[in-house]
């Protein structure tokens, strides 16, 4: 795991873990994995699953996924013109 990913994971995990301080680290990770729908072994859980789940955990159902929001185009015609390079 690269250093920036570790820092991002810790930054996302800290406020969530503070809400349930009675849990130890492995219990907290197990809880997050279960919430995310992960069913494999915890030692095979990727940091991507944790980071993505922590980012999405407190978002509403109608909110856009963070990675997709930057590319969202509400107007289909504009999206086609932008994809073809006609407009910026």
Write the burial class of residue 84 (CB in 10 Å: 0-12 exposed, 13-18 middle, 19+ buried). exposed
pTM of the model as a whole? 0.67
Every domain of the chain and the residues it spans: 3-83
Q: Domain 3-83 carries which CATH code?
A: 1.10.1580.20
Q: What is the pLDDT along the chain (88 residues), one digit of tens a residue?
A: 578 888 999 999 999 999 999 999 999 999 999 999 999 999 999 998 999 899 888 777 777 776 777 777 788 888 888 889 888 7
């Amino acid at each position: 795991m690269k250093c920036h990913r570790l820092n991002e994971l810790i930054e996302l995990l800290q406020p969530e873990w503070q809400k349930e301080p009675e849990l130890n680290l492995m219990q907290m990770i197990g809880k997050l994995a279960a919430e995310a729908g992960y069913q494999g072994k915890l030692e095979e859980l990727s940091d991507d699953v944790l980071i993505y789940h922590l980012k999405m955990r407190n978002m509403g159902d109608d909110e856009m996924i963070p990675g997709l929001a930057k590319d969202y185009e509400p107007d289909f015609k504009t999206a086609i013109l932008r994809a073809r390079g006609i407009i910026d």
